[in-house]
Structures are given as structure tokens and as C-alpha cells.
């Protein structure tokens, strides 16, 4: 049957199993929306306040469900507004398909109204992108985009479609999804070598990254840890994959990780890096990372080998497939001395102070996650609140902690929380944010109200850009340049103006009452919580430092 390009887009998205789109109409995508009009019962469309929020929502949807996030934006400013969202997903290897409209073919390159070369602009923040100027290529391009986004290391893919393509007629027949590209193959001998490193090690430590999440390998990871008593540290991307119930999990490693996690790496004789990339927030000083250890690495992306840290041995492969082959070759081992040494190290870990009256971030976050249980999806923005939440959100299931790890995008949270709730309507979703991050994209509160997306936003308000202030405090002689936010902002009125319910709390009791009431509401709520401006995220290893430079008070 012959359909318009716009209808082919919608039909092909349905063929790919898409039932949710985050998009914003505009001149060059009006045909897509015209086609969508007939499929409103099959596709739920969420219109954000701003395209950036829409991409973050698609991203939160993808992170929390494991599906591909889909977003639509118009040409020009609509397309450029997606860039931060796409880059956020790219840095954290999240599969997205972003469709942008562009001006008609005869106007391309003429600086037409709302024309921008989004194909050129997004080359470096996508795994691949397409420019479609021929309707004959449309269906297969969309199918290909889904395959690329989900093959190997997952990532966003952008398809820029010229307006006349959407209006042209072309033959359409339903086609199944394209198969994913084969994962890299590895030899038995490579697995044997990995096993040999592990079996011979006295003090091994697993350094587990976001690849475990992408590969759904948390079960295999636990089996490896338990079979041979290998302790593990997690990155911020692995929260929920490993949690507080895993006795062998020491907790988060890196700049704001636990002292014991960093010391365990420092004292180990073998680092087993799984699906992780030795970022500068973990391997803060690459010349001094695990100085006495051999390092072995498994990653699906060959270019992660020897990128930041030179490793002794690496296998390129899907971490779940590698661990499945590896497990039978691993010797059971008590590793008593090593585990005792680690237990000693843990005794000196930083303990966040508690207080009955004044609200302490750790106490507050722990209270909320305890109230809402293990299905709660925790979302963060970026800054101090992000680190506090990472330190004590105690997630025990994969895909229940969503944060912008690689790009560190302030303003990520509200959109991501909306996407998470849309994808998981039966699970509670709480966004922990700061006053800086919240105000960056608070316009999405309107989206949550419009589409009745029930999210709880808890704003830890310290009237400052806390993480930058912390660096100014500790590293820049307390020269608090441009970080304090001294306006008197009424979050309760703000919530009401948007049609949401707002609360403001100064004490622990006030918060508990507000939180209890907030959970009875049907729509989105925001709770402002006043905290001290001088609260620090501890411990902290300054950028480029080693565990010897750790700041504990």
C-alpha cells in the first residue's frame, strides 16, 4: 500500500514496538503529527515544555524500562534544543531514536526559516545519524536506527527528515525489526586467561560499571562475586545493580565514593574492570590507579581498552556473555585474609552526621527511600544532592536509579523523572534535586501537570550552587564567586501556579508531615527542603588526586 512519508514514520515506529513518544510539534514535523492524529490510541505522546526536557524524558524512559526512548523535534531551534539531551544519553550509553524534521529538500543549504544542519551538529554526540531526503529510504532508515541504537554499546541515533519526504507517497509493507549486530566474538583461550588472572589473585576487586546494566548481567556478576568471594566496588552507573544487600559490595568508588572502596582498589593485586571506562571521576589519577595491581578488563567497546588506563589484559565482548563463559572456570576461594583486610578498612569509613531537628541530606534521602521501598525509582539532577543520593539511596534493583553520570547535566532530572513514571506507571518515582538544577528545567513541572504524571520532586535547597561552592570552600580559599542564590523564591506558590501541590519544610518533622501528605496527592508534587549552605559531600578526593588526598571532614 502507498502511504505518505509521515504515515510510514508512524507505521514503522509501531512496527518497532514503540508505544510512547516524547515530542514537540513544529513547522517541519507537522506532517508527522498529522499522521499521529490517527494513531492516538496506539501511541502515547507526551509534549514537554522544551525539547531538552523531552529528550531527558525519553532518556529516563529508556533507562528505567530498558526500551528505546523515542523523541521528535522540529527543525532549527527544536533540533538544537535536543542536543544536551542527546549528549547526556550518549555519555551514558542510553539507546534513543531522535527524529527531527528539516526544511524541504529544495530549501536545504539556503538558510531557510528554521533550517539548521542538525545532521552535522549532532555527529559527535550520536552513535550514528541519518539525513533522509528520499522517501524510498525512510522505512529502512528508521529500522536501521533502532538496530544501531541497541547493538553493541547502546547509544542515541538521530534521523533528520526533510519535510517533502514526509509528504511524498511511497510503498509501505510492515517489516520486522532488523536483527541487532552480532556482539564481538571472543575465544575460549581469552576466557581461560581471564580465569587464570582471577584464580591466581589473592586480593582481587571487581570494578563494575554501567555496562553491567546495559547487558543485564547483574545475576552473573553476583555469581562471580559469591563463587570466589571477590569484593566489588560500583560506579554511579551501577547503583541498583549492586546494592547494600550485596555483602561483598563495598559501595561506590571514586571522587565521592567510600574511603574503603578507594582503598580496596589501592590495596588490591587484581582489578577486574567490567563494563566500565575508568572515568576521571573514578581513576582520578590514572598514573596512580591501583598501583600494585594487574588490571583486566571486559567491555563490549574495543575503544575502551587502554583509553584512560593501560590494562594488562582485555577481552572485547558483551559482559554477560563473557561472565557466563567465565564462571565455570573460576575456583571457589574463601579469600579470608583479603576480606578481613577490607573489613578493617571499612571501620574508618566516613559516617554522615545525624540530627533530630535540622534536616541532614543523608537522613532525608534514607527516610524517603525507606518509606517507598525497593521498587521506588530514584532520579537525580546534578550536584551535591546527586552525590548524597548516590551515597545513600540504597537501591537493590537495576534501573531504579537514574542519573546523568557522564555528562553531568543539571536539569536532567525533571524530564527523566517524567519519562520514568510514564514508562513505569505502577512504581513510585522520586526526583532528588537542588535549587540550581531544579530551576534549570522546572518548566517541565507544567508537563507533569498537563499529562498528570505523578512524580515527587524533593528540592534540597541550600540557596547556592552547592557543588561549585564546595570546591570554592575547599579548594578556592572560600571565594564564593557567583554561586550563592539569594533570591526569595516561593516554591509553594510556584507549584500552585503550575497547578501542582507544593510544600516547604525547615525541620525533620515538617518534612515527614509534608512527605506523608504529598504521597496522598494524585498529581505531581514538589517539596522544598531547606538545608544548610555549608553541608559538604564527603568524603571527597579532589580531581586528579589519590586516596591519600581524601577529605573526610
Partner 1 sequence: MKKMRVLSILVKNNAGTLTRVAGLFARRGYNIDTLTVSATKDHRFSKITLTAELDDIMLGQLMSQTAKLQEVVSIEELFDHNSVLREILLVKVAVTHECRSKLIEIANVYKGVVVDLSRESMIIELTGKPQKIDAFINVIDNFNIVNFCRTGVTAVQRG
Instruction: Name the residues annotated as catalytic.
Output: 51, 113-114, 163, 467
Give the nearer residue to partner 1 in terms of CB position, either 229 or 308. Answer: 308
Q: What is the smallest separation between the CB atom of 144 and partner 1, expressed in angstroms?
A: 9
**Which backbone phi and psi does 421 adopt, to 5 degrees?**
-70, -40
- Closest to partner 1 by CB, 302 vs 492, is 302
322, 206 contact by CB (below 8 A): no
Residues that bind partner 1 (CB under 8 A): 119-120, 123-124, 127-128, 131, 148, 301-303, 305-307, 310
Distance CA 63, CA 51 (A): 18
Nearest to partner 1 of 126, 456 (CB atom): 126
Query: E strands of 264-376, at which residues?
Result: 270-274, 294-299, 313-316
In this complex, which beta carbon is closest to partner 1, that of residue 131 or of residue 372?
Answer: 131
For the CB of residue 121, give the shortest distance to partner 1 in the complex, in Å: 11
The minimum distance between CB 61 and partner 1, in angstroms, equals 24
- Minimum CB separation of residue 241 from partner 1 in Å reads 25
The three cell numbers locating residue 517: 501528605
Q: How far is the CB of 127 from partner 1 (least distance, A)?
A: 7
CA distance 320 to 186: 13
Residue whose CB is less far from partner 1, 131 or 296:
131
Q: Which lies closer to partner 1 via its Cβ, residue 287 or residue 306?
A: 306
Residue 316 contacts residue 305 (beta carbons within 8 Å):
yes
* CB 153 to partner 1: min, Å: 8
CA dist., res. 198 & res. 208, Å (int):
15
Contact 102, 130 (CB under 8 A): no
Query: Taking the CB of residue 193, how many other CB atoms lie within 10 A of it?
Result: 14
Q: Is the peptide bond before 539 cis (omega within 30 degrees of 0)?
A: yes
Distances (CA, A) of 523 to 79, 375, 415, 432, 451: 30, 19, 15, 17, 9
| DSSP codes of every residue in 392-447 | H----STTSEE---SS--TTHHHHHHHHHHHH-TTS-EEEEEEHHHHHHSTTHHHH
Amino acid at each position: 500500500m502507498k502511504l505518505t512519508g509521515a504515515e510510514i514514520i508512524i507505521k514503522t515506529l509501531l512496527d518497532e514496538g514503540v508505544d510512547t513518544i516524547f515530542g514537540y510539534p513544529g513547522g517541519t514535523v507537522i506532517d508527522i503529527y498529522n499522521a499521529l492524529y490517527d494513531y492516538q490510541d496506539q501511541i502515547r505522546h507526551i509534549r514537554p515544555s522544551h525539547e531538552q526536557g523531552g529528550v531527558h524524558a525519553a532518556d529516563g524512559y529508556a533507562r528505567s524500562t530498558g526500551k528505546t526512548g523515542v523523541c521528535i523535534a522540529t527543525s532549527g531551534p527544536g533540533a538544537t534544543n535536543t542536543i544536551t539531551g542527546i549528549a547526556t544519553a550518549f555519555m551514558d550509553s542510553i539507546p534513543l531514536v531522535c527524529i527531527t524534521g528539516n526544511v524541504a529538500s529544495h530549501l536545504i543549504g539556503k538558510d531557510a526559516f528554521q533550517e539548521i544542519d542538525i545532521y552535522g551538529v549532532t555527529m559527535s554526540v550520536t552513535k550514528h545519524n541519518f539525513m533522509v531526503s528520499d522517501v524510498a529510504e525512510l522505512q529502512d532508515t528508521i529500522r536501521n536506527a533502532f538496530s544501531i541504537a541497541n547493538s553493541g554499546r547502546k547509544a542515541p541515533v538521530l534521523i533528520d527528515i526533510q519535510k517533502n519526504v514526509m509528504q511524498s507517497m511511497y510503498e509501505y509493507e510492515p517489516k520486522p525489526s532488523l536483527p541487532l549486530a552480532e556482539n564481538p566474538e571472543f575465544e575460549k583461550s581469552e576466557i581461560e586467561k581471564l580465569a587464570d588472572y582471577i584464580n591466581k589473585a589473592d586480593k582481587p576487586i571487581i570494578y563494575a560499571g554501567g555496562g553491567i546494566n546495559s547487558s543485564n548481567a547483574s545475576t552473573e556478576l553476583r555469581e562471580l562475586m559469591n563463587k570466589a568471594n571477590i569484593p566489588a566496588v560500583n560506579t554511579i552507573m551501577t547503583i541498583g545493580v549492586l546494592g547494600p544487600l550485596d555483602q561483598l559490595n563495598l559501595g561506590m568508588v571514586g571522587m565521592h565514593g567510600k574511603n574503603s572502596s578507594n582503598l580496596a582498589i589501592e590495596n588490591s593485586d587484581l582489578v577486574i574492570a567490567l563494563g566500565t571506562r575508568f572515568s576521571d571521576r573514578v581513576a582520578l589519577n590514572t598514573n596512580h590507579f591501583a598501583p600494585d595491581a594487574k588490571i583486566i578488563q571486559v567491555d563490549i567497546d574495543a575503544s575502551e581498552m587502554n583509553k584512560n588506563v593501560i590494562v594488562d589484559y582485555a577481552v572485547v565482548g558483551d559482559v554477560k556473555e563473557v561472565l557466563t563463559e567465565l564462571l565455570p572456570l573460576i575456583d571457589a576461594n574463601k579469600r579470608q585474609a583479603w576480606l578481613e583486610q577490607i573489613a578493617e578498612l571499612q571501620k574508618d569509613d566516613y559516617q554522615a552526621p545525624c540530627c533530630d531537628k535540622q534536616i541532614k541530606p543523608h537522613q532525608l534521602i534514607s527516610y524517603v527511600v525507606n518509606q517507598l521501598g525497593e521498587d521506588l525509582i530514584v532520579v537525580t539532577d546534578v550536584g551535591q544532592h546527586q552525590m548524597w543520593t548516590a551515597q545513600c539511596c540504597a537501591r537493590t534493583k537495576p534501573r531504579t536509579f537514574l542519573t546523568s553520570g557522564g555528562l553531568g547535566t543539571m536539569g536532567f532530572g525533571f524530564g527523566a523523572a517524567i519519562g520514568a513514571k510514564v514508562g513505569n506507571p505502577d512504581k513510585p518515582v522520586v526526583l532528588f534535586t537542588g535549587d540550581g538544577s531544579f530551576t534549570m528545567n522546572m518548566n517541565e513541572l507544567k508537563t507533569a501537570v498537563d499529562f498528570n504524571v505523578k512524580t515527587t520532586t524533593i528540592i534540597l535547597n541550600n540557596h547556592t550552587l552547592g557543588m561549585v561552592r564546595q570546591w570554592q570552600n575547599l579548594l578556592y580559599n572560600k571565594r564564593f564567586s557567583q554561586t550563592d542564590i539569594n533570591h526569595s523564591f516561593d516554591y509553594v506558590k510556584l507549584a500552585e501556579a503550575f497547578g501542582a501541590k507544593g510544600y516547604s519544610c525547615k525541620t525533620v518533622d515538617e518534612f515527614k508531615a509534608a512527605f506523608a501528605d504529598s504521597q496522598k496527592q494524585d498529581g505531581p508534587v514538589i517539596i522544598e527542603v531547606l538545608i544548610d549552605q555549608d553541608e559538604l559531600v564527603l568524603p571527597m578526593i579532589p580531581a586528579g588526586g589519590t586516596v591519600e588526598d581524601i577529605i573526610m571532614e
